Amino acid sequence: MRKLVILSLAVLISALFAGTAIADTIKIGVQAPITGQYANEGQGIDNAARLLAKQYNAKGGILGKKLEVFTCDDEGQAMKAAICAKELVQKDVIMVIGSYTSCAALAAQKTYFRAGVLQTTDGTSDDLVKEGYWTFFRNSNPNSAAAVFTADYLVNFKDFDRIAVVSDFSSYATGLADSVVAEIKKAGGNVIDYSKIKSKSQNFTPVLTKIKSMNPDAIYFAGYYSDGGLLRAQQKQLGIDAAFVGGDANDNEEFINLAGSAAEGSKIINVPTPDMLAYDSAKKFLAAYEKEYGKKMPSTWALLNADGMYAFLTAI
Amino acid sequence: MDIFIQQIVNGLTIGSIFALVALGYTMVYGVMKLINFAHGDMVALSAYVGLVLYTQFVGSGMPQAFIIILVFLITALIIAAAGVILERLAYRPLRNAPRLSAVVSALGASMLIQNGIMLYWGPNILTFPIGIFPETSWVIFGATITFIQAFMLILTVVLMVSLTMFINFTKYGTAIRASSINQDAAKLMGINVNMVVTIIFIIGAVLGSVGGLFIGIYYRGIEFTLGWNYGLSAFIAAILGGIGNIPGSMVGGYLLGLFTALISGYVSSVWAEAFTYILLIVILIFRPTGILGERVAEKV
Amino acid sequence: MKKTTIAYIVFFAVMALIPFVSNNLWITIATTFCIFSVVALSVDIVLGRAGMFDMGHAVFFGLGAYATAIMNVHFEMNILMAIQVAILLPAIVAIVISSPIVHLRGDYLLVATVGFNIVFVQMLRNNFLGLTGGDDGIFGVDAEALGLYLDDPMIVYFMAFTLLLLTLLVIRNLEKSKAGRALHYVQEDPIASESIGINTRFYRVFSFSLGAAIAGLAGFIFTIQYTAVSPSAFDFMTSVMFFAIVLVGGKASIPGILAGTFIMFVLPEVFKGFETYRYFVFGIAMIVSMVLRPQGIFPAKYGKLPKYVTEDK
């Protein structure tokens, strides 16, 4: 049983190693999906936050202190986010940027609130502000606003009569789809079907075929780009002649790659894309991002989060 | 009615993939009584290899049909080699160890391949280019069938017929059947069981690689977790048909494809997966040897 | 004193000292180690001691965790009120779902438990009865009881540590009891044990429900630790991890299972920088350890029986 002793020693030593070295810096946490399904977006947010911190440090930091960025990977999942929240709080960060997905931001909210850590996210779920924590700030439009606009666009602007709504099982997509369905009904539109697909399952033809039989004018998809592109491609392949309108999380270049030739004609409702922004500061930041990382920012979300961080830093 | 036929076509398309992958599980189980958890990841690997090969060849000026044949053949060769190596390193040393040790080794191999793919190709989704196959489609009884779908169905059927002939009418096929009934007796009869195992790993890998390429070409988006997604479904298909039973897993693959298509089309897309697994559990309880499996008394 | 006893005393002393010599981050990791060890030990009751291939144990862990979260968040009950439910509910569900399947041969049982796990996770994701909160799960668990915040890292740690001690005690008693011996016979040879008057089916279901009850209690503390539950924590991959821990560590071997949990959940925290390589390295380690030691790292030894009795055929 010497093994047990060795094991206990290992535990003890690793515990001792975890000493704390506190330098005189302002610590900023980034909570984002660095790996997993939304890795593309998460890395964009992380890069943007680090870039902004670097820009500040070049100017001498804030209040004479340098900025230090800590990243925690939440994989876009609620449980991992709760762990991340505790970890970041234990590192004594004063603010947290992120996360990309609404559920990850939601799950972390309470921990940050108790510790008095500021949080800013691009999450769009309406539940985010339900609790009314003072530490929480969002930097994008809430789902309900997007839903009102979407419903208005579908029902009044495009005059679609028969709308089929599709979402996946995630909280973001379910929340968005629920509010879009409600708003369409309010606007007098007709939701003929509300189905769910399993994210990543790739085979969406059964659901699409069912929708086909209902002769829709438009298909609204409230999920993420990795499924949206395939959904659009399979819609075309089944010969469903309906307009495709995607929610904001479809706004990613991969959507076009996945949908292929079918991408043409599909519409995605979102706040303006990075290069469409007219503000000078935004353009400058984007150029700096491209120079630093040698690639374009994946989408608006990274910029929105950097924006939230900028607001916090200015406030300090 | 045309919608129903369309759902049947959908089910048969995905069912072809399930059936091809399921054969890999079933053949290995038949001979070695081992659930080869790494098989799904082999399928994922073949999709990635196929993508690399296709992008290499596509600008070379060869005719498109020739490129496609080349991609299928080379991918099959590479995956077959990988399958043989996997068996040598991870399974052969455990042939006489407790059964569960081999299962853990298979799980380890699965993690190894899956995360190897992630480390090499990155965690993001990769896409097959469009236009690998002509985008023609036909309308039959109101249901749309694309060129790719027809190609998939035909190639799957051809492969299955050849496999059945191989198993039933060749010397090697007889050796495989004998080994899956009783390995020790087969050894006594002078059958080289090591060779049989190598052959089934090669066949399983080749069929799986075709399935992987189908996934890439038809669904176009590939991801490193793809192996588990399809592997688990294909494994269920193998059990539905009776694991270890070769015609059974062909039938099981198509049945599972049809079942999921019809459930999510007509009953509930939200609960489709749960229904599939409940069906699986019910079948296990009442007919553990599967739909086509023979009822054999448990040996003591 | 026997060497084993000394080793255990040293181990527990070190575990008890951890909170006083390290910071919050490491207390959290040590808590995770305790909770996951308990779950792994509960899997071992079914897999290692009763010899049933259980690859769906996350169901029971999840039931305990969700029962706690649901009672606390939806019905606003004190968190401590959930203890009995977190133990009883998984135990009852285990009896219900295991009764029809325990007669299945090894691999079929494995597949059936995987099936239950996937159905369970889908129920959680679909916001079953409006209680499970869909894909996000449930958060905002209020762990205030007896005037304390139970989710304080120190308090959670001692709860988890106590649970680990309790579990080890239960297993020690099980090993020495009639039921433990019966399970051992059932695993070695079901038909022979049936013929000497052991009710195989009863003891198999019993091991399932005992394992489930312990895992459920671990789920209770898990919920307090994170103040949140979500479906992905209890999916099929979690079950696979515990399955692998038991077999890599050694069936029915307590030090083996503790070491397995340490390797799978604590080492990755130490080598944070290599996180992306984590599962890649695990994969290799699982193959290598099985090839070199098919019985596990620390195979269990059964007293002073002659070798021909304990050896596998």
| pLDDT per residue as tens digits for the range A266-288 | 777 765 555 555 566 666 677 77
Average pLDDT over residues C10-32: 78
Using a CB-CB cut-off of 8 Å, the residues of chain C touching A12 are 14, 17-18, 21
Using a CB-CB cut-off of 8 Å, the residues of chain B touching A197 are 269
Write the CB contacts of A120 (distance below 8 Å, at least 6 apart in sequence).
A95, A96, A97, A98, A137, A138, A139, A305, A308, A309, A311, A312
- For residues A116 and A156, membership in a common domain is answered with no
Query: Among A268, A286, A307, which residue terminates a domain?
Result: A268
State which residues form the domain around B201.
Answer: 19-227
The answer to whether residue C123 scores a pLDDT higher than 80 is: yes
pLDDT of residue A19: 37
Of A39-43, B296-300, C41-45, C153-157, which range is least confident?
B296-300
The answer to whether residue C304 scores a pLDDT higher than 70 is: no
- When divided into structural domains, chain B yields a total of 1
Q: What's the whole-model pTM score?
A: 0.81
Q: φ, ψ for residue B35 (rounded to 5)?
A: -80, 110
pLDDT digits (tens, 9 = 90+) for C142-169: 777 776 777 677 888 888 999 999 999 9
pLDDT of residue A123: 66
Instruction: Provide the shortest C-alpha distance from residue B190 to chain C (in Å).
Output: 24
State which residues form the domain around A302.
Answer: 24-140+278-315
Name the closest residue on chain B to residue C112, using Cα atoms: B281
CA distance linking residue A62 with residue A58, whole number of Å: 10
Using a CB-CB cut-off of 8 Å, the residues of chain A touching B44 are none
C 76-95 residues inside an 8 A Cβ radius of B: none
- For residues A262 and A154, membership in a common domain is answered with yes
The answer to whether residue C112 scores a pLDDT higher than 70 is: yes
Using the beta-carbon criterion (under 8 Å), do B3 and A210 form an inter-chain contact? yes
Of A141-155, B22-36, B168-182, which range is least confident?
A141-155
Average pLDDT over residues C177-200: 84
What are chain B's partners, defined as 3 or more CB pairs within 8 angstroms? A, C
Of A3-12, B155-164, C16-25, C76-85, which range is least confident?
A3-12
Residue to substitute from C8, C23, C135, interface A, most A β-carbons within 10 A? C135
Query: Is residue C301 in some structural domain?
Result: no
Query: Is residue B77 in some structural domain?
Result: yes
- For residues A29 and A131, membership in a common domain is answered with yes
The answer to whether residue A263 scores a pLDDT higher than 90 is: no
Of A156-170, B12-26, B272-286, C135-149, which range is least confident?
C135-149
- For residues A171 and A215, membership in a common domain is answered with yes
Using the beta-carbon criterion (under 8 Å), do C244 and B115 form an inter-chain contact? no
Is the CB of residue B57 less than 8 Å from the CB of residue B67?
yes
Token pair for B295: 């009822």
pLDDT of residue B1: 63
Average pLDDT over residues A162-175: 81
- For residues A297 and A214, membership in a common domain is answered with no
Instruction: Provide the shortest C-alpha distance from residue C14 to chain A (in Å).
Output: 6
**C305 pLDDT tier (thresholds 50, 70, 90):** low
pLDDT of residue A300: 64
Q: Label residue C3 exposed, middle or buried (CB < 10 Å: 0-12, 13-18, 19+).
A: exposed
Instruction: Answer whether C9 touches A (CB < 8 Å).
Output: no
Token pair for A52: 């902004």
Using the beta-carbon criterion (under 8 Å), do C115 and B280 form an inter-chain contact? yes
- When divided into structural domains, chain C yields a total of 1
- Please say whether the dihedral angle defined by the alpha carbons of residues B61, B63, B69 and B72, taken in this order, is positive or negative: positive
Using a CB-CB cut-off of 8 Å, the residues of chain A touching B225 are 200
The answer to whether residue B156 scores a pLDDT higher than 90 is: yes
The answer to whether residue B38 scores a pLDDT higher than 90 is: yes
Query: Is residue C216 in some structural domain?
Result: yes
**Average pLDDT of chain B?**
87
Q: Label residue C157 exposed, middle or buried (CB < 10 Å: 0-12, 13-18, 19+).
A: buried
Using the beta-carbon criterion (under 8 Å), do B272 and A229 form an inter-chain contact? no
- For residues A151 and A255, membership in a common domain is answered with yes
Using a CB-CB cut-off of 8 Å, the residues of chain C touching A19 are 23
Q: Could you tell me how many CB contacts below 8 A there are between chain A and chain C?
A: 118
State which residues form the domain around C59.
Answer: 3-239
Average pLDDT over residues C259-284: 78
Query: Is residue B236 in some structural domain?
Result: no
- For residues A158 and A262, membership in a common domain is answered with yes
Cα dihedral C42→C44→C49→C53 (10° resolution):
110
C 36-65 residues inside an 8 A Cβ radius of B: 53
The answer to whether residue C196 scores a pLDDT higher than 50 is: yes
Sheet holding A95-97, edge to edge: A66-73, A25-32, A95-97, A118-121, A136-138
